[in-house]
Structure 1
Amino acid sequence: MLPSYFIAHGAPSLVLEQHDYTDFLKQFASTLPSKPRAIVLFSAHWENRTQSVSTVDTYSTIYDFSGFQDELYRMTYPAQGDLAISEEIGQLFAKNGIPSVMDSERGLDHGAWAVLKLMYPAADIPVIALSVNRHLTNEQQYQIGKALSALREQDILILGSGGIVHNLRRLNWRGGNTPEEWALAFDKWIQEKLEKWDLEALFQYEQLAPNAKEAVPTNEHFIPLLLAMGAGDSSRQAKLLHRSYQLGTLSLNCWEFK
């Protein structure tokens, strides 16, 4: 059974950068027990009030950013979809009382393709992209991930792509890779609750965690963490695989749930 993972996607330029985190992502595939049959990925940059499931045959590449290097706008990630798995996901959602819709048009945004291009550059594994909904409760987010946990038994890799500390307005352009104290305090609180699988606390992180409003000014990047964690509900083991920071307030974390 494959674990599920939360991966931080950082800035769109991540795919062009060279540092410890990009090295980690480039080695990620070699750490798995087997090559995934497919990748199911929740991206913070695809928001919809109804859970959307991609049924695209071959993905276009969405450049949902501006002002970055010209090279980024020439990159593509023409992954294939898998209609049978998309339909199975729809059935799992229906079984668990989660309304969903199929989407046959949307391409992959940078929250998906920028990390996948580092992890699986050949784009030779089918991808099923899934949306996030910032208007649900944290418990509902977890339950959406839990509804898909059975896919892990089919060698399907479940990824949530976002960012635990993600405050673009508080970026420290002179701070380099040193995290702000408030950002580190929030990250460490989340780490403690994840490792204890303390759902009661995590579902109330906005009220309980130190500096939550600064670390998570809007929740769409945090949601994929709860989705990936929910997919690991059957065994409830959380492991931090990587943590680093950019510009003081962007945490680059990878969490494994199995």
Structure 2
Amino acid sequence: MIPSFFMAHGAPSLALEHNDYTALLKNFAAGYPKPRAIVLFSAHWESREQQVSASSAPYETIYDFSGFQPELYQVQYPASGEPELAKEIQALFQQEQIPASLDSVRGLDHGAWVLLHLMYPAADIPVIALSVNRHLSNAEQYRIGKALSSLREKDILIIGSGGTVHNLRRLEWGASQTTDWAAQFDGWLEEKLNAWDLDSLFQYEQLAPYAKEAVPTPEHFIPLLLAMGTGDANRTASLMHRSYQYGNLSLSCWKFA
């Protein structure tokens, strides 16, 4: 069974950077069998009802940001979708009474292509993008991920793309050390993930130190719960990488096997 992953996508410029985290992403394909398809929840696609990309044509690359270096706007990720898999995913959601709609128009936002450009630069693996809904409870987010757990038995790679500490208002440009509150939040999170402590994780807003600083809005945290839900059968979490940019923008990768 192929593992699923939560991966931070950082700032869009990550696609052009060379550091320990991008090295992990670039070497990812060498460590695992090539997946038949990739299913990715992106923090940058929000909707009230679960959306599933169902295009068969190559995706448009969406540049949903501004003010970055010109070469970033030249990056293309023309992966194709797989409509039959999209329908299968919709059916899995419907089996669990999770409303889901197919979308055949939207391209890939930077929450998807920044990671995939580094991991699979040939763009030769079908991609199904999925939206997130910040209006659901944390338990419901986990349940959405759990509904897709059977895909892992079909050589399909599931990724939740977001960030555990993602507060753009609190970034410290030029900082050489990690902000203490970010490290404390991620330390608490590591403990609860390793223990698969769902009761605490579902109440992280009340229980985790500096939760409001680390997660001012939930859309980047939600993909962690979605990816974790896909690993409910075995409940084994492994921290593959954690570093920070700008003092507190976390670059972390969790594996759920």
Query: TM tier, shorter chain?
Result: over 0.9
Q: Secondary structure at the match of 1:183?
A: helix
Structure 1: gaps of 5 or more residues: none
Which structure 2 residues correspond to residues 1-258 of structure 1 after superposition, within 5 A?
1-32=1-32, 34-57=33-56, 58-176=58-176, 178-258=177-257
Instruction: Note the C-alpha offset of 1:84.
Output: 1.1
* Runs of 4+ residues over 4 Å off in structure 1: none
Aligned-partner SS, 2:158? strand
Report the Cα distance in structure 2 between the residues aligned to 1:102 and 1:87, rounded to whole angstroms: 8
Q: Kindly provide the CA deviation profile for residues 111-165 of structure 1, in whole angstroms up to 9, marking residues without a partner as x.
A: 0001100000000000000000000000000000000000000000000000000
**SS in structure 2 opposite 1:60?**
coil
The size of the alignment, in residue pairs, is 256
CA contact (8 A) 1:80 1:125 kept: yes
Q: Which runs of 5+ in 2 are unaligned?
A: none
Which amino acid counterpart does residue 40 of structure 2 have in structure 1?
L
- In the alignment, residue 98 of structure 1 is paired with which amino acid? I
Other structure's SS at 1:134 match: coil
Determine helix, strand or coil for the equivalent of 2:44.
strand
**Root-mean-square deviation over aligned CA pairs:** 0.5
Q: 1:168–1:249: 8 Å Cα contact kept in structure 2? A: no
TM-score for the superposition, normalised by structure 2: 0.99
Distance in 2 separating the partners of 1:116 and 1:173: 26
Query: In 2, distance between residues paired with 1:223 and 1:42?
Result: 9
Asked if the contact 1:40–1:129 (Cα under 8 Å) also holds between the matched residues in 2, the reply is: yes
* Cα distance, 1:31 vs structure 2: 1.2
What is the CA deviation profile of residues 78-137 of structure 1, one whole-angstrom value per residue up to 9, with x for unaligned ones?
001011110000000000010001000000000000110000000000000000000000
**Structure 1 residue 74 displacement after superposition:** 1.2
| Post-superposition offset of 1:174 | 2.7
Aligned equivalents of 1:85, 1:156: Cα separation in 2 = 10
> What is the one-letter code of the residue matched to 1:101?
S
Distance in 1 (CA, whole Å) between partners of 2:251 and 2:172 is 15
Provide the secondary structure at the position in 2 that maps to 1:234.
coil
- CA distance in structure 2 between the aligned counterparts of 1:78 and 1:62, rounded to whole angstroms: 11
Aligned residues with identical type, % of pairs: 68
Cα shift at 1:18: 0.7
Instruction: Provide the TM-score with structure 1 as the length reference.
Output: 0.98
Partner amino acid, structure 1, of 2:256: F
Amino acid at match of 1:154: K
Residues of 1 paired with 2:194 and 2:74: CA distance?
Answer: 40
